[in-house]
Chains A and B, each alone.
Chain A
């Protein structure tokens, strides 16, 4: 009986030590970056398509497309706020900030330029679209490179 008890205590202590070790290992390793979000990915892909399509319209007066522009900017705001609200998601949040900032030179800056100039030249639009498209690709690329929730222990 005492042999069984000794065996029991021996193995229980080893298992407990092992589980405590794993728990400490996990607790000490908070994720470095947010997990992948299907919603965030979809937002980025949809906004890329909408933005590039709207940029094509910049050969026409800004005022003729004000409603569409406001609608796009609202969707961009939603994507930014969603990114900002997720823990460990600072890098993606920063990407959205740069993309939508009217003082920078991607989508936000393009829309400001369109408003200031009234119309933009086809050559400029074509080149700016390349840059904005690549910018969205970096957002999409980062999101799709994150760990899926199903991969987490």
Chain B
């Protein structure tokens, strides 16, 4: 039987580790997006269990797929962190633009 709670916990730890250098509000958003992703994986895990029980997947194949899920979790966490960093850059660009606008308004 696949321990889904363990997978969720592992993923949460992965996300926390990856987001340690981000602001709290961005960290929270990243964690929530990530947890939504892993909840969506529950159907995969259930299907694999059923395929294994029906003899259509070997034990080795099941183990491989579980490890692939773990790798996919890491890929998703990297994506979420990257999107959070892009949001930070967009905010910084907006602040710089506002400052520029204020200076040029002051000139005119």
Q: Which residues of A contact B (CB under 8 A)?
A: 11, 14-15, 18-19, 21-22, 25-26, 29, 31-33, 91-92, 94-95, 98-99, 104-106, 109, 113, 121, 123-124, 127-128, 130-132, 134-135, 138-139, 141-142, 145-147, 151-153
Contacts and interface: CB of A to CB of B under 8 A. Distances in A.
Contacts of B76: 138
Given A98-B75, A130-B44, A151-B90, A25 B82 contact: no
State the majority secondary structure of interface residues on B: helix
B103 A15 contact: yes
Interface in B58-82: 58, 61, 64-65, 67-72, 74-76, 78-79, 81-82
Contact of B97 (A29, A95, A153): A153
- Range of interface residues on B (Cβ < 8 Å): 35 or more
A74 B51 CA distance: 34
Nearest to A19: B103
Given A105-B67, A127-B57, A147-B86, A141 B79 contact: yes
Interface in B77-101: 78-79, 81-83, 85-86, 88-90, 92-93, 95-97, 99-100
27 contacts: A21-B99, A22-B96, A22-B103, A26-B96, A29-B92, A29-B96, A32-B85, A32-B86, A32-B88, A91-B78, A92-B78, A99-B75, A104-B67, A105-B64, A106-B68, A106-B72, A106-B75, A121-B58, A123-B57, A127-B47, A128-B68, A132-B68, A138-B79, A142-B83, A147-B86, A151-B90, A151-B93
